[in-house]
Structure 1
């Protein structure tokens, strides 16, 4: 078990927890009573993760993508986590690069800048030039990180095992969530996954009927040089979108007009990813959206992506419309359609919670509504009602929040509804008719034909079963099993009580008419048996807690 082992890393974690004053873990580690685990405050949790080091910072960044599990305060605090780690010395990085290349370093690159342009917990990035003159970015895995991550993953799973023994851990399936996070950490160590995600995203965005694909850039991957520990991609010359100096740009357009164009481009590109492709860049924070020198916009760092199946896409489109209409009842119905949880849900309570949440937006115009904030609050209501939603809902909500946040920072005149309304019409049309309306119509006609041919036969079969009295209905009502067990327990105790009473009465009759010592002994045996059984019955009732 986690707490019984004494490896240095575990002692270090315990020291960090105690140093940051997390009261719950302090009680656990000192043997105090702590039946229900409590998360530390957002600020304390952030400090704990920072003190634990790069891997736990990455874990915190992953946790910030799960507003379906954590409240808005935690999401906001964890979203500020940055990979503020010192760069690895160039000598160590050069050794790793040489091991990953098939040819000598000098025959592959003409120059490599030894000073990294960025350093993170998993990797650092250097600018280089190929021997053919093309500029590239080298994302190099930190040497030794592949040995450190498995150790920290084992510790994370150990903590999850500890918390999973509590009611809190069982309600939120802590072990499954820990497994999901650790799998994401392991995936971060394989740069070929990020390379394949980047390629797929570039292919998906290379054509669109909503925006000009030539204005959106996703870096090209150099597969002949890319390995699980080295990612080589096209160098994009630009800077963060929010730092773009459009006033001094030489594109010849009015800065306000250019901001409107870029905002529309981003919304349309991400709507295509979310509701058409079902494969989306899940981390569009300000550092991953670049404004290039030639006036185009680039998406960087495709290591974190999300996926949505067609059914979920349809539900989420309806959810956006329900939010616009402030329709609490429809929001509740759509939430239950998305839910993975099998626990009973009181629909009226869920609807009332949504109604209270949406009521504060009744007097606001659509341009004043922060849609990503409403989605966060919808997830909060679902969590309070113990509804477990798929993990991709967290990525979806975080993606919309980041996108809307960057768009409002870049273009304060943003009207969310104006940007999405024309897209929603197209999305609904595609969901109804598909990419090929004629093919969809023919498929529907074949389904109607099949139904018309089978209906008479099925109706005849149903009538025959009814008239022959062989029709059986299998009805399953939730909660009847517990009611049946309660009724069985009550019947058993009643029968037991009657038996005890009969033994006492029989013993009393025999005792009053006892003429011999054998009958007197029999009477005493019956009294003793009845007393023992009666005492056992009383103890079982008290232990069940159902005396009242």
Structure 2
């Protein structure tokens, strides 16, 4: 039975504190080991935190690289749920028992993950399927843990680990990501969308969904018989051309990024199979989406890399990024140019596309340009794909294929997005403006020769500067008057002239008093201005 929220609250604080994330930091914990300690804490906190950690490992926009790397090691090691509990969920979703819905259903799960279990089954038409069923009350448990975690951060009960954004905002992002992953209808829609984009690629296969047994908690799809794409032994035994397989996989991922704007967010070897000569993708819970503008800018960026156009690449970075502060374009140019010199002086086959993009994005970040979070998932996917390609064919590099692919793709789509009416209208306006240039030039020259030309100079905050200067001059004059009065009064007292009081010149004393009053007034005026 799951703990009450109060008990769970205490347990989470206790375990996080034990691993060095308490309100009072234990000196026995080395700061360098914080990422490892966070992973251990998540493992001890159980399935919900393991899933939270796995989601965080896909979000470099939330956590820094050391934490991402460490949380990527989190593995599901969760005991199986009771079959009767699973059957109960199935009945609640479809008003039919598992026994009646399927001709055969293996009660032993193929896989047991933190939020779901995967079973092998057979429909009444003998079609083999896999059924992914959410664990009982997992959504409620995860929401409770996330709510507790948010409360802990709000109360400042634990030491904040290295988040790149405000911890409470990070928890909100995490809640959104978790809710998306816990709704299996999103995965079903991802499958259909991915299938649509790849319908004309004969070398790619995506399993069909069995819609009548799909809901927010359950997804049923065609079972894929095959072997992992990195199983080089099977590739050799079945006489596959490994170079061809690697090339097709590279083309597939490039199409997803530069044409579809919809790419697999977790393309590890366990999610890509080979079946009957085709590359089969499975598990569409995590997908990356690029807006039309972002996709076009990525194409332009690759075009800029292909032609070593530093200015174009900087223009793209400024277009897609968010300004965090002052941007020194000269520094940005030098940084990007330096990268070009390093990378493009080497053969393309020796360059990792993910590494190059990472360094370009790091240059942007170092120059106060924050890039969209979708690009961090893109880099993560590219890193995984490059690892797969290296295992299949060590001589292939995705960048070596990407540049000619993008060049060709841009040639094909050069006029695709042009509005003909807008083009004609702009051409007419340009021609009209050009025809006026000779006349306008002659008018300008005549005005200059006749002395009729005026130049308007607009200096920002000029009035304010003049007022400041006036105040400064007034204070100097005032100070000179005070000085004169002090000197004059001193002469009068020394000469002892004029009416006297106790044999002291009244005029001299009065001069001192007036000078003191004026000096005090000047001092107050300067202090009030804040420019003492």
TM class by smaller structure: 0.7 to 0.9
Structure 2 residue 361 is matched with structure 1 residue 379: yes
Once the two structures are TM-superposed, the CA of residue 288 in structure 1 deviates from its matched residue by 0.9
Is the contact between residue 68 and residue 383 of structure 1 (CA under 8 Å) also seen in structure 2? Answer: no
* Correspondence for 1:274: 257
Cα 1:388/1:374, change in 2 over 3 Å: same
1:493–1:195 Cα change, 3 Å: farther
Q: State the TM-score, normalized to the length of structure 2.
A: 0.77
Q: Could you say which residue in structure 1 is the equivalent of 2:448?
A: none
Residues 314 and 431 of structure 1 are in contact (CA less than 8 Å); yes or no, is this contact kept in structure 2?
no
Q: Contact 2:63–2:162 at 8 Å: present in 1 too?
A: no
Distance 2:343 2:96 in 1: 62
Partner of 1:61: 54
Tell me the equivalent position of 1:93: 86
Q: CA deviation at 1:225?
A: 1.5
Residue 30 (structure 1) aligned to one of 24, 47, 50: 24
Q: Secondary structure at the match of 2:407?
A: helix
Task: Provide the C-alpha distance between the structure 2 equivalents of 1:40 and 1:541, rounded to a whole number of angstroms.
Answer: 49
Distance 1:520 1:416, change over 3 A: closer
CA 1:300–1:495: 2 relative to 1, 3 Å: farther
Q: Against the structure 1 CA distance between its residues 120 and 180, is the aligned structure 2 distance closer, same or farther, given a 3 Å change threshold?
A: same
**Aligned partners of 1:345 and 1:309: how far apart in 2?**
25
Q: How many residues align?
A: 496
Q: Describe how 1:13-412 pairs up with structure 2 within 5 A.
A: 13-22=12-21, 26=22, 29-30=23-24, 41-67=34-60, 72-158=65-151, 172=165, 176-208=169-201, 212=202, 215-243=203-231, 245-246=233-234, 249=237, 251=238, 254-255=239-240, 257=241, 259-292=242-275, 294-323=276-305, 330-341=312-323, 343-361=325-343, 364-412=346-394
How large is the RMSD of aligned CA atoms in angstroms?
4.4
Offset of 1:357 from its aligned partner?
A: 4.3
474 and 393 in structure 1: CA distance in 2 versus 1, 3 angstrom threshold: farther
Deviation, 1:360, is: 4.4
The answer as to whether partners of 2:250 and 2:401 remain within 8 angstroms in 1 is yes
In 2, Cα distance between the equivalents of 1:503 and 1:66?
69
Partners of 1:68 and 1:393 within 8 A in 2: no
Q: 2: CA distance between counterparts of 1:123 and 1:171? A: 30
**Is the alpha carbon distance of 1:313 and 1:121 closer, same or farther for their aligned partners in structure 2, counting shifts above 3 Å?**
same
Q: In structure 2, how many angstroms separate the alpha carbons of the residues matched to 1:371 and 1:412?
A: 15
Could you tell me how far 1:120 is from its partner in structure 2? 1.7
With normalisation by structure 1, the TM-score equals 0.75
CA contact (8 A) 1:55 1:149 kept: yes
The alpha-carbon deviation at position 303 of structure 1 amounts to 1.2
CA contact (8 A) 1:46 1:77 kept: yes
Offset at residue 528 of structure 1 (A): 6.1
Instruction: Give SS of 1:224's match.
Output: helix
| Aligned counterparts of 2:429 and 2:384: Cα–Cα separation in 1 | 51
On the 8 A contact 1:84/1:120 being kept in 2, the answer is yes
Cα distance, 1:198 vs structure 2: 0.7
> Could you give the per-residue CA deviations for residues 326-380 of structure 1, whole angstroms, max 9, x where no partner exists?
6655543332222123532112222333344455445532222222122222222
Structure 1 pair 491/92, CA: closer, same or farther in 2 (3 Å)? farther
Distance 1:136 1:536, change over 3 A: same
2:424 to 425, 430, 449: 449
In 2, are the aligned partners of 1:273 and 1:279 still within 8 Å (CA)? yes
- Cα distance, 1:419–1:456 mapped onto 2, change above 3 Å: closer
Greater radius of gyration (CA): 2
2-structure distance, mates of 1:228, 1:49: 26
Q: Is the 8 A contact 2:351 2:399 kept in 1?
A: no
Distance 1:18 1:524 in 2: 65
C-alpha separation in 2, matches of 1:491 and 1:129: 89
Structure 1 residues 189 and 488, CA gap change in structure 2 (3 angstroms): farther
Please identify, of 45-54 and 384-393, the stretch whose mean Cα deviation from structure 2 is larger: 45-54
> Are the structure 2 counterparts of residues 472 and 531 from structure 1 closer, same or farther at C-alpha, using a change threshold of 3 Å?
closer
Question: What is the distance in 2 between the residues matched to 1:491 and 1:451?
Answer: 50
Structure 2 Cα separation of the partners of residues 17 and 503 of structure 1: 71
Distance 1:192 1:507, change over 3 A: farther
Flag the 1:170–1:117 CA change in 2: closer, same or farther, 3 A. Answer: closer
CA–CA separation in structure 1 for the residues paired with 2:455 and 2:477: 39
2:206–2:282 Cα contact (<8 Å) kept: yes
SS in 2 for 1:126: strand
Secondary structure of 1:373's aligned partner: helix
Displacement of 1:527 after TM fit?
6.6
Gaps of 5+ in 2: 445-451, 494-504
Distance verdict in 2 for CA 1:95–1:56, change over 3 Å:
same
Structure 1 residue 282: Cα displacement: 1.6
Q: Distance in 2 between matches of 1:492 and 1:13?
A: 65
Tell me the CA shift for residue 408 of structure 1.
1.2
Query: Aligned with 1:397: secondary structure?
Result: helix
Displacement of 1:421 in angstroms is 4.7
